[in-house]
Amino acid sequence: MLKPVGTAGTLFAFFLDVLRALFRRPFQLREFIQQSWFIASVTIIPTALVAIPFGAVIALQVGGLIKQFGAQSFTGSASVLAVIQQAGPIATALLIAGAGGSAIAADLGSRKIREELDAMMVLGIDPIQRLVVPRVLAAMMVAFFLNGLVSVVGVGGGYVFNVILQDGTPGAYLASFTALAQLPDLYVGLVKAVIFGLIAAIVACYKGMNAGGGPKGVGDAVNESVVITFLLLFVVNFVLSTIYLQLVPPKGG
Amino acid sequence: MGVEIKVDNLTKSFGKSLIWADVSLTIPAGEICVMLGPSGTGKSVFLKTLIGLLKPDTGSIVIEGTDIASCSEKDLYEIRKLFGVLFQDGAMFGSMNLYDNIAFPLREHTKKSESQIREIVLEKMDLVGLLGTEDKLPGEISGGMRKRAGIARGLVLDPEIVLFDEPDSGLDPVRTSFLNQLIVDLNAQIDATFLIVTHDINTARTVPDNIGLLYHKHLAMFGPREMLLSSEEPVVRQFLNAQRVGPIGMSEEKDADELEAEKDQDLPPLPPIPMQLEPSSGIPRRSQREPGGWCRDNGVTPPPGSFEANMSMTTKV
């Protein structure tokens, strides 16, 4: 019955190990660049494609609601808030976990069952410092930039749908950006994206490095890593949003 | 040189299932030892415990004054530099070609220049007969080649202890005997301590100086080759001669009924003890003992026909 608690504990211990290895030299720059490029290459296009409908749906929904209140001129502001604070980091994290994390878990898992990780440890090299740290940093960096991409594409998609489908005025959409939204909204979005990238990479590496029982074990590890990441993301997102809303007063108020 | 490994009262279990208990043995410096045992008796677990990949529940493993079972992570990484390990499938890094794989430990742990590294890598590749395959990826070569590449990688740092995890599994008999010859030649050349984990009896009978047998969650016997090969102990006798009559059954242990049924069966006589495999250079290894020496010193009469050249069991090539 206490097994999930134990798993959570070892996952956290793994996180601390990674944190410690982060400061150990030499830093694996090559691996970091390779992994960053790899994660970026598997996530950029899906992220952009997800961001367009995301922004559009928010624009349609919010636009429809706001029209009933007779405050159409604030549509732009509301959709910017929603995209930057919530949709951006979540969409980023889902793709980092789904595309990048699953690839990381599969890669490390297959290395584990081929005893490559054991061989590395026997050769006196710590796989956490060598393989995990560059991957975690790469996922965090790519998440940071992807979040920017989602924000731009999402807001752009919202603009197109609001102006073309809902007969909103282009000027009002743009002008109302700063009516409700403020700079800390952007910061919290970026911080969230980086934290989500960290969680996705840590879980993927942990699951991959603890894969066992042959090829099926690797499949299971990938599956579990994606599911666990998603669960954690939504919980953490809720906590971060609550803290943010408590700490930073909304602009309108 | 070589380094002695002193294992004391080692016990290991995974959760509730005990793997083995109270294993105590000393692997002498510079000698070749073989650890035998039926499938699933935790031979590979034993090997992984020796390098500190698995932590034992109790007991100690002392190498050069450091206890691997209780030392810090940092000391462990230090002491591992003494080891060269051959994993079952070679465990080559899939993303690197053979040359980079073998050069990897040198690039990580030494400040040697690329030309020095090249010299060492090519020398070791020549030693295991892999010259000309530097640019191949591990996925493109056969299992036997991967094993040999694994040996080459294990040797580049001039290890004091070399561990082999089933060097002969999945290899044909000819390659196995070449590999055995290679192991003996290597020992003659670098004088390191060798431990081979296997269940191939032919290897066990001809290669090592000492044999250990893991059976039924404990170390049944450990000692000089001739002691085990002339032993009347039922488990040792059954395993080393690949017989069905004896305490080992299809699933670990035979039950009382089965043992009762075969009580009256006559055990076939012990086969003769073969000559030990000699280095191909003809110069005896430092730890090599005179054939029949142990039997004579301990007053044991070896089975008739022992220590004759050209016996069928020898793998001499």
| Cα gap A27→B172, rounded to integer Å | 43
Torsion (CA) A230, A236, A240, A246 in degrees, nearest 10 = 120
Range in A99-103, A175-179, B81-85, B161-165 the model is least confident about: A175-179
Residue B105 identity (one-letter amino acid): P
> Does B107 contact chain A (CB < 8 Å)?
no
Using only C-alpha atoms, what is the Rg of chain A? 21
Answer positive or negative: Cα dihedral of B14, B15, B17, B18.
Answer: positive
| Cα gap B137→B7, rounded to integer Å | 38
> Does A167 contact chain B (CB < 8 Å)?
no
Q: For an interface test with B, which of A2, A115, A118, A209 has the most B Cβ atoms less than 10 Å from its Cβ?
A: A115
C-alpha distances in Å from residue A49, one per residue of A56, A65, A95, A96, A150: 12, 25, 11, 14, 9
Using only C-alpha atoms, what is the Rg of chain B? 20
Residue with tokens 């999945």: B170
Residue B248, in any domain of the structure: no
Residue B141, in any domain of the structure: no
Q: pLDDT for B124-162, tens place per residue?
A: 888 888 888 888 898 888 888 888 888 888 888 888 899
Residue B105, in any domain of the structure: no
Q: What are phi and psi of B60, to 5 degrees?
A: -135, 155
Residue A5 identity (one-letter amino acid): V
The most confident of the ranges A196-210, B174-188, B302-316 is A196-210
Q: Read off the tokens for B253.
A: 């242990």
A125 interaction partners in chain B (CB closer than 8 Å): 108
**Beta carbons of A105 and A207 less than 8 angstroms apart:** yes
Query: Would you state the pLDDT for residue B309?
Result: 64
**Beta carbons of A149 and A44 less than 8 angstroms apart:** yes
Closest Cα partner for A67 from A196, A143, A210, A167? A167
Q: Is the pLDDT of residue B89 over 90?
A: no
B51 interaction partners in chain A (CB closer than 8 Å): 122
> Does B72 contact chain A (CB < 8 Å)?
no
What is the average per-residue pLDDT within B167-177?
Answer: 81
Q: pLDDT for B240-297, tens place per residue?
A: 877 777 777 776 666 777 777 776 676 777 788 888 888 888 788 877 888 888 888 8
Angle between helices A75-82 and A133-160 (to 10 degrees): 160
pTM recorded for the entire structure:
0.81
> Does B15 contact chain A (CB < 8 Å)?
no
A 75-114: CB under 8 A from B: 110-111, 114
**Could you tell me the CATH number of the domain that includes residue B36?**
3.40.50.300
CB-facing half-sphere around the CA of A79: CA atoms within 13 A: 40
Q: Is the pLDDT of residue B314 over 50?
A: no
C-beta atoms surrounding B178 within 10 Å = 18
Which residue(s) pair with B34 in the sheet?
Answer: B196, B211
% of chain B at pLDDT higher than 90: 8
Domain that holds residue B19: 5-95+159-231
A118 interaction partners in chain B (CB closer than 8 Å): 48, 53, 87, 91
| Cα gap B160→A237, rounded to integer Å | 53
Residue with tokens 């060598």: A130
Query: Would you state the pLDDT for residue A253?
Result: 53
Measured between CA atoms, how close is B218 to chain A, in angstroms? Answer: 25
Q: Is the peptide bond before A26 cis (omega within 30 degrees of 0)?
A: yes
Domain count, chain B: 1
B91 interaction partners in chain A (CB closer than 8 Å): 114-116, 118-119
Chain centre to alpha carbon of residue A231: 13
